[in-house]
Structure formats: structure tokens, C-alpha cells
Amino acid sequence: MTGRDRDEAGRPRQARPRDALGRPLPYGTTGVEPVSEKPLPPLETIAEARRLLDEGRPFSAHEVLEARWKDCPEVERPLWQGLAQICVGLTHRARGNEIGAGRLLDRGLRQIEHYSGETYGLDLTAVRNCIRLVRINGGSDPI
């Protein structure tokens, strides 16, 4: 049995390559470029998450949003957590797990429900409406 992958400081890290949907690939194969675990400022977080979603990488977008969520002011945690959950929901949907996708999209929707208008350049009303469309008929991605 091999030990868990660790970084230079001894913290657990996944060194295994992953595909665009975050699924582990065999060691030695080429996967997508991993995203940094370092939190980005809010506008950069949104821009990077959008870029990753445009590339078909909702799992990586979730990781970028999760890093921000873990580092943001307490008052913003529902926003970042909700956006991260939405991206995980999109990941599950892309993997064919409609039940898990629906649950995570609903959870993310509840987290961002009290935000209105534009926040950090993101039209959250449009995001919520798009999530509702996705839940009803599998429409386009919300971010």
C-alpha cells in the first residue's frame, strides 16, 4: 500500500492527474492543468471561474470558487459557497448524475438567493434564472 500524495510541507495533496470533469486519471497520463489552491481576489475569482466554465471545466471552476469561499469575509461565505456548489452541480450534470446535479444546483441556488442584482460583475438574478431553467429542462450553464 502506498502513502498518500503530499506536498513539500507534508500536507495531503492529490498528485494524480485529472480530466476536465475532475475525475482521477491513471498516474503517468496527461490531465488538465490543475488550478492554484491560492485564493484570488473576488473579480479575478469570477473571471477565472468563467474562463474554466467556458473551457468545459466546471470542477476546476468549483475549486477556484472554493478557495475564495474559504478565504472570504464571513458575510460573503454564502455567495462563494453557493457559486462553488453550482459548479459542482454542473460537474455532476456533465458526468451524467442528474439527481446529484439537481441537489447541488438547488443547494447553490438557496445560498445565493438573498443576493440581488450584480455582485462582483456577476448578474446573480440571471444566474438564478438560468439555474431554474437548467433544473426544469436541462438548459444552458448558469455562469
Q: How far is CA 76 from CA 11, 24, 110, in A?
A: 27, 31, 14
Question: pLDDT band for position 5 (50/70/90)?
Answer: low
Q: Are the beta carbons of 143 and 122 closer than 8 angstroms?
A: yes
Higher pLDDT, 34 or 138: 34
Q: What is the C-alpha to C-alpha distance for residues 113 and 130, in angstroms, rounded to an integer?
A: 13
Q: What is the pTM of this model?
A: 0.85
- pLDDT tens track for 72-90: 999 999 999 999 999 999 9
Taken in order of first residue, the domains within the chain and their CATH numbers are 42-137 (1.10.3450.10)
